[in-house]
């Protein structure tokens, strides 16, 4: 069945809406929940919220953010500040260090070819598209217009649009505004960091874009070679261009999950002038309490995006995600996963770009329905404490295992506040903490220790 009503004021969502009406039920998101199917550019009903369940749709009313009992953050809570701009070092770290050579070789074997999108679409005028961004692009608009057909330009436009669409959707549900921070890198490039802190719904939300270029450091080149890259620089120098969009959202209500996504592109020019390129990225969910309907919606949205390009993408990238976000010393995953991939360079550049674009366009529809669904859920002090404990695990993974963070911290001149943007505002550690059997907390822990197949 296909009961669909969609919205959006932006071109990207309108195009995707037309696709949904000819295919099957698929959720897209933009500035707010649903409206009318009869208008060419429908407007939203401000009092409605929406949630996808398989191929059906249900509507629900919503109000303000969930109410918490007094004493949300009590004894033992640890404040972890993190300002809001991704530095070049942190950006390059995420682009360089997220997969090993074994995983890359495995994916090349198991996923030999991707299907390009069957539908072509006009990407539109550069200047007009820039009007909807959170800030002007890192690269001068005139340069983007001159090089509009180059992959670096197309990817920068995609990550800027992804940032804008996600920020506007979050502002709509929270009622707050993102602080927009533009920064420059003296070696080349810069970034745009958007951060909202202590909002009504989100305790800390960061959505960052970075576009950097220059020459790879020896340490960066060494990491790449360890993943199987054959790099031949001129006079020992390797010019590079790296760009990406990344986000981590930490809600206040423990019944609204944390979400993380990152999509990136890397180019290296070798001594003969030829270029090596690859894409990486993924989206993953970290709930405090397990909700099977939420898990299905999140994973199914990602699966549908993957399936448009290759039937093995979702199962392989889902397994890769479970492996990567594993907290070894705890014997549990950080969350319920999603998809994760890196060093993706086949079947061809256009095919991989279309796949990455499909994935980037899921960040709103895979997450915002879950936010709206739990917006008014009540929670207790005990549930808030459990959220703080789970956030502690999030911190442990990011500081101990996340390759991007480790690389950034080891890079001279890095901006530490930017590298630690992914950390929650508050977290908690309790000695020998183990939830009682039969509780919802114990159920959550079992899922983290034994990853599930959700679709």
The residues carrying an active-site annotation are 260
The alpha carbon of residue 175 and the mean position of all alpha carbons in its chain are separated, in whole angstroms, by 21
* Tokens coding 410: 């080891």
Contacts of 27 (CB under 8 A, 6+ apart): 50, 52, 297, 301, 365, 366, 369
Any idea of the CA torsion for 178, 154, 279, 336, to the nearest 10 degrees?
Answer: 40
**Residue 257 CB: number of other CB atoms within 10 A?**
27
140 vs 288: CA distance, rounded Å: 42
The one-character DSSP state at 115 is P
Residue 209's SS3 state is strand
Runs of H (alpha helix) within 190-312 = 218-226, 292-307
Give the CA distances from residue 340 to residues 24, 99, 107, 123, in Å, rounded to whole numbers and listed in that order: 25, 9, 11, 26
Residue 173 has phi, psi (to 5 degrees) of -80, -30
Contact status, residue 183 vs residue 414, Cβ threshold 8 Å: no
Identify the sign of the CA torsion 104, 107, 108, 113. Answer: negative
CA–CA gap between residue 84 and residue 68 (Å, rounded): 26
Which residue do the tokens 């879950």 mark?
370
Q: Quick one: which H or E segment has residue 409?
A: helix 403-409
Nearest CA to 258 among 266, 271, 248? Answer: 248
Q: Which two tokens stand for residue 344?
A: 């993706």
Residue 241 burial (CB < 10 Å; 0-12/13-18/19+)? buried
3-state helix, strand, coil in the chain (%, to 5): 35, 20, 40
What is the DSSP-derived secondary structure letter of residue 217? -
**Helices of type H across 202-275:** 218-226
Contact assessment for residue 95 and residue 242, using Cβ atoms and an 8 Å cutoff: yes
Nearest Cα residue to 134 out of 182, 62, 65, 184: 182
């Amino acid at each position: 069945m296909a009961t669909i009503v969609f919205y959006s004021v932006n071109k990207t969502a309108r195009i995707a809406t037309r696709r949904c009406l000819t295919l099957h039920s698929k959720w897209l998101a933009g500035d707010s929940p649903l409206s009318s199917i009869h208008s060419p550019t429908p407007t939203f009903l401000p009092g409605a919220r929406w949630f996808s369940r398989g191929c059906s749709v249900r509507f629900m009313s919503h109000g303000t953010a969930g109410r918490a009992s007094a004493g949300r953050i009590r004894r033992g809570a640890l404040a972890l500040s993190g300002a809001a701009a991704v530095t070049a070092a942190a950006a390059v770290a995420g682009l360089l260090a997220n997969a090993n050579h074994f995983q890359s070789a495995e994916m090349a074997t198991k996923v030999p070819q991707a299907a390009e999108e069957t539908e072509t679409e006009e990407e539109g005028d550069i200047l007009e598209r820039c009007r909807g961004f959170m800030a002007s692009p890192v690269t001068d608009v005139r340069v983007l217009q001159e090089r509009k057909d180059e992959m670096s330009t197309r990817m920068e436009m995609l990550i800027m649009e992804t940032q804008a669409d996600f920020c506007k959707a979050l502002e709509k549900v929270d009622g707050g505004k993102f602080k927009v921070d533009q920064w420059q890198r003296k070696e080349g490039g810069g970034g745009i960091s958007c951060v909202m802190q202590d909002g009504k719904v989100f305790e800390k939300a960061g959505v960052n874009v970075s576009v950097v270029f220059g020459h790879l450091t020896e340490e960066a080149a060494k990491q790449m070679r360890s993943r199987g890259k054959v790099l031949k620089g001129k006079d020992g120098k390797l010019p590079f261009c790296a760009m990406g969009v990344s986000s981590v959202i930490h809600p206040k209500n423990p019944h609204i999950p944390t979400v993380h996504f990152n999509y990136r592109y890397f180019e290296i020019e070798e001594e003969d002038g030829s270029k090596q390129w690859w894409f990486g990225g993924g989206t993953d969910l970290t709930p405090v309490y397990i909700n099977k309907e939420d898990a299905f919606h999140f994973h199914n949205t990602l699966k549908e995006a993957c399936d448009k390009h290759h039937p093995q993408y979702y199962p392989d990238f889902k397994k890769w995600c479970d492996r990567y976000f594993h907290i070894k010393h705890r014997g549990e995953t950080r969350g319920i996963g999603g998809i994760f991939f890196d060093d993706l360079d086949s079947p061809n550049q256009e095919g991989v770009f279309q796949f990455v674009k499909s994935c980037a366009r899921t960040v709103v529809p895979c997450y915002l329905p879950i936010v709206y669904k739990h917006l008014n859920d009540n929670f207790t002090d005990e549930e808030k404490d459990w959220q703080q404990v789970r956030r502690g695990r999030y911190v442990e993974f990011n500081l101990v295992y996340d390759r991007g963070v480790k690389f950034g911290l080891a890079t001279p001149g890095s901006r530490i506040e930017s590298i630690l943007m992914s950390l929650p505002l508050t977290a908690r550690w309790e000695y020998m903490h183990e939830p009682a059997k039969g509780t919802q907390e114990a159920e959550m822990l079992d899922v983290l220790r034994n990853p599930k197949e959700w679709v």
